[in-house]
Amino acid sequence: MDKLKDILDKQLESRPKEVFFCKSCVLSNQRPRLTFNKDGICTACQFANEKKHVIDWADREKQLKKLCDNHRKTNGKYDVIVPASGGKDSASVAHKLKHMYGMHPLTVTWSPFMYTEIGWQNFQNFIKSGFPNIFGSPNGHLHRKLARIGLEAAGDPFLPFIYGQMSFAFHIAMKFDIKLIFFGENGEAEYGGSTKNNYRPFMPIEDWADLYFKGATVDDLIDWGLENNILKPDDFDESDLMFYRPPQDDELTGKGIQMHWFSYYQKWVPQENYYYSAEHTGFQANPEGRSEGTYSKYASLDDRLDGLHYWLGFIKFGIGRATSDAAHEIRDDHITREEAVALVHRYDGEFPEKHFKESLEYLDISEEKFFDIVEKYRVASPHIWEKVNSNWKLKHQVQNYPVLS
């Protein structure tokens, strides 16, 4: 029986059955689209080395200035859209574009499922620091159902948020006739994945489904929900789906709208974004000191579903929040691999207890049903998980490599 038959996350099908880890960072080959060179170094670490020694950042700065010069408006109108939550990354991008490059950003925000107190405060602080904002809220009834479908069908309730986070900005750009959209970082390059767009300042829309949406679009979620009686036809209208889908590519091309990553033009260092946004936009770190599942205190603080999103990634790939944070900090020369291994052992896979009950209520699902779904994804991952005395155990965990004399 095909255990992946009813699972929409197509990334699961291509996971290597033999697990091994990068010799430079702490990522395993289970991260989707991650590949390794003959020395056992992952593509994310290879790209980090290129950022330090190959890329001409002075030339990239010239390219950024030229791009801004070509789009800057002198009539007081907006000239760039920045999708922004008020988090450290989007806040620093918007502030730099405005104050370093003389642009006139219109920021847009696709609503989290359930704001955290610190997430809402950071969003308000960001706006108060000098930024106009259009806030997009989807049909709440449908959004909850799509999150539930995302959990069951793809092992990630975050999917409908990801759809809107990417697509909403393009719709607003079309409405306001703004040609330039700036996102933060190219996640595939920075955190590990496909290298096809590493030396491009943008990602073509045709790559979104595979590289951002786990191989499933909102229409796939709708079909799955209808087939499995989670959705009914009267739960939504076609107009409710508009912001989950990007505009047609020919529409964007016709209007000359293009997206760019800021990380293409300036070296992307999350910790530096934290310091910058704290100084300039009032960003505050997690008041509890760290986020569940990791040791860091300043990333992905907005949504009460954040913890489940990362924990479910741990279930599907054996890669949790601490692994992702530690891997990037190794590449940024902030910690050693030995320190990273210790942090992964201590925090990776920590269950997100704080908002768990609220999340179950939001998803309209029982605790028993939730863990039945989790069981399905573990059963579909026998190379990652094994049952020992009725308890699930991770088969492989990153280790330090012996020092050769």
Question: According to the model, what pLDDT value does residue 202 have?
Answer: 86
Total-model pTM? 0.94
Helix, strand, or coil (residue 42): strand
Q: Give residue 1's pLDDT band: very low, low, confident or very high (50, 70, 90).
A: very low
Using the predicted structure, report yes or no on whether residue 365 has a pLDDT greater than 80. Answer: yes
List the structure tokens of 244: 């989950």
8 Å CB contact between 140 and 112: no
Instruction: Give every CB contact of residue 53 below 8 A, 6+ residues apart in sequence.
Output: none
What stretches of 156-261 adopt beta strand conformation (E)?
A: 180-183, 258-261
The string of pLDDT tens digits covering residues 127-164 is: 999 999 999 999 999 999 999 999 999 999 999 999 99
The radius of gyration computed from the CA coordinates of the chain, to the nearest angstrom, equals 21
User: Which residue did the predictor score with more confidence, 32 or 208?
Assistant: 32
